[in-house]
Amino acid sequence: MNTGLSVLDFRDRTYYSELVRIGLPVMVQQLVFNGLLMIDNVMIGGLGGAAISAVGIANKLSFVFILLLFGVNSGASGFSSQFWGKRDLASVRRILGISVQLCMAAAIPFFLVSQFLPGRVMAFFIRDARVVDQGAAFLRIIGWSYLLQSVSATYAIHSRAVGRTRPPMYASVLALTVNTVLNYALIYGRFGLPRMGVRGSATATLIARALELGLLLGIVYGRQYELAASLGELTGWSRVLLRRYLRPVLPVILNEVLWATGVSMYTVFYGMQGVNSTTTAQIMEVITNLFFSAAFGLGSACGVMVGNRIGAGQDGVARTYAKRSVLLGAGLGVVMGGALAGAAPVFLGFFRVGPGIIAACRIAAFVFAATLPLRVINLVMIVGIFRNGGEHGDGAEVADLFRHGAGQPGGGHQGRPGDLAAALGQMAEQPGAGHPGRRGPGGRGNGGVTGPGRSVLAATSASGRPAPDPPGPPGRPAGPVPRR
């Protein structure tokens, strides 16, 4: 289909204005989150390398849980963005309801593990008694936040799917700022508060999550935005819709859980080599994520734009936007990689750890920087294009094969130094970006961007009836919902 648009057209104001409108708030949110996370780790580092390792390892349970939430909601957001492209608000709210209930159900086993088996979780990754004790204390407190995150993450991701990116950003910026202040106060006992060490960090995070959820829901329901659904709307879905929902979403959940499990297994291998290796990996993960923040903005914007165009029946435009986003992602990855390699020594100077750990981080920084372009392409293609275009399983097969078949055996070799193990782990994450696949932007598949004229909606609403024609261009409101 000839849309009159060029992939390399830098004068397409519609694309770039939406990219900035949707992507910039997400990028700012991620930048603030990762920046404050680095500050938290610097503060925890004042307690010693064992404390950094304890919090980093304890957060692996949180990491798996967050990826599970992301799997549910990023897969479901393909429905939401396409339904919103059709301006089918009732269906958007039913999809939100299914997602909230699934995520709340998923939070329960993680919460129970954090309360009754925290020591066993820590001992699975490392045998150092200091790290296990501190990490278990951290988990018992942080586990309560899983119940809150199951709701806040769902509303945040689905808000972006309907183009409402600012409320999640406002909630996160406020909560994370409070988290940083409370971290300083509770870790070291400032402002008349008790000195709690790593337990203080967990307590600050729990309070921040409660604030985030309260503010986000307050904005959404206070201003009656698109996701201000009643209890009846959240629970008014049918079994037919649930089956249609699960068909594309389950592969995404499986992919995210496998990915999180694979990455977490690297921590087991670092733990075999001692506290220094786990501390090195934790520090580099925090610094790299700071530079990776812009990629989340691009991936989120790409996903919303692609999903909206498919929902509006503009498949040709969706393909063009998908290809353009991949090219932009490659360029962005090169720029971020260069910045990471050049600035890593500056950021490492903030951490009060031993010279051996700093030396290992300097070596690992170049590997992390070299892989950033491929990681950005992975994010844009899998999260932005495939999931919002209906190809929820693409990109997973080869990536998982390399991760479990190449990265873990290499990283787990006990004779390798920590920085080399981290390098092997990073390189094993990248082959999925080069996977040409049977489908892709402009290719042929079973739905969405990758198949002419089809999407995950199959031209129906969530109730099973034909959806109404879109009343206006994507990104604009329909009906009584105000945009403020």
pLDDT averaged per 10 residues, the chain (length 484): 65 85 82 76 80 85 87 82 84 91 94 95 87 94 94 90 85 86 92 93 92 94 92 88 87 81 77 77 83 83 83 84 89 91 88 84 88 88 74 48 46 46 48 37 38 39 36 35 36
Query: Does some domain include residue 177?
Result: yes
Position 5 scores a pLDDT of: 66
Domain that holds residue 58: 13-450
Record the pTM: 0.68
Total structural domains within the chain? 1
Query: Does some domain include residue 4?
Result: no
Query: Does some domain include residue 51?
Result: yes
Q: Give, in degrees to the nearest 5, the angle at Cα 418 between 416 and 424.
A: 70
Position 254 scores a pLDDT of: 84
Query: Does some domain include residue 128?
Result: yes
Query: Does some domain include residue 135?
Result: yes
Query: Does some domain include residue 274?
Result: yes
Query: Does some domain include residue 462?
Result: no
Query: Does some domain include residue 443?
Result: yes
Position 136 scores a pLDDT of: 95
